[in-house]
Amino acid sequence: MSCVRIAMWSGPRNISTAMMRAWENRADVRVWDEPLYPLWLHRTGADHPGREHVLHEQAGDLEEPFLLQQLAEASSDADIFYMKHMAHHLLPGLSDDWLRDTRHAFLIRDPQRVLASLAQKVPAAGIEDTGLPQQVALLRTLGERGYPSPPVIDSDDVLAAPDVVLKSLCTQLAVPFDPAMLSWPAGSRPSDGSWGDWWYEQVRKSTGFGPSRENDSALPSQQRAILPACMELYEELAALRISL
């Protein structure tokens, strides 16, 4: 049996790492954590927590030809190779030929909550940092190229009914569901990106998909100004999501 490649396209401050944990807890899956992040961090100059550590630890991923070759050839001795991606890490002009032979899915979250959380880590975060424009653009690109319509899942739905959503997700990705996806041991993983100490505090405490935690923090003025545009993009994606 050939290895099935899955690319999950998310934005930041979602449950994307918990989703990676769910897949990694299966015996038939290997994962790759945000392969495009180091190059994106280097090219954009983004002032992210742990920036210098990431660029030092993953210096090899800053070489575009090498990275693209790794993405094109990404596979595993496991049945499924799962790649966790942030949509905004798809840099303009970066070859996306490696998207072929991959099954794609999208993970979205209410922008109010995304922005409230993101602003705490990246105070200057703008709309491009949410990944929403890039998710919409990628969804359209996949459609124009004749790819199957990718499943879209909302983090609130996953947290409310993980078994229902994950079963539907697996069905749409044409892979079997495994109950092992519903819980996992707490702690870090060798597969965690080198940025984990700055970004993964909560997920490392988790053992499964818990109840949604409301974030009622008032948005800073910069993020409040972009919320309407973010909502418009989110609603375009949400209209396609797997419903409970």
- Would you give the distance in Å from CA 237 to the centre of its chain? 15
Residue 138 domain flag = yes
Least confident of 9-13, 71-75, 98-102, 181-185: 71-75
Residue-averaged pLDDT of the chain: 93
Residue 104 domain flag = yes
pLDDT at 2: 83
Residue 124 domain flag = yes
Closest CA to 19 of 79, 76, 86: 86
pLDDT at 146: 94
* 136 has a pLDDT exceeding 90: yes
* 1 has a pLDDT exceeding 60: no
Residue 244 domain flag = no
What is the average pLDDT across 69-90? 91
Residue pair 152/240 in contact (Cβ under 8 Å)? The answer is: yes
* 207 has a pLDDT exceeding 80: yes
pLDDT at 214: 61
Q: Give backbone dihedrals phi and psi of 6, rounded to 5 degrees, phi first.
A: -120, 130
What is the average pLDDT across 21-42? 96
- pLDDT tens digits, residue range 189-202? 999 999 999 999 99
What is the average pLDDT across 108-137? 93
pLDDT at 215: 62
Give the domain range for residue 108: 4-238
Residue 154 domain flag = yes
Structure tokens that stand for 78 in this block: 């496991």
pLDDT band at 91 (very low <50, low <70, confident <90, very high): very high
Give dist(CA 168, CA 243) in Å, integer.
9
- pLDDT tens digits, residue range 115-126? 998 898 889 899
pLDDT at 122: 87
Query: What is the domain count for the chain?
Result: 1
Report the run of H or E that residue 106 belongs to, with start and end.
strand 103-108
Neighbours of 126 (CB within 10 A): 14
* CATH code assigned at 200: 3.40.50.300
What is the average pLDDT across 72-89? 91
What is the average pLDDT across 71-75? 84
Residue 243 domain flag = no
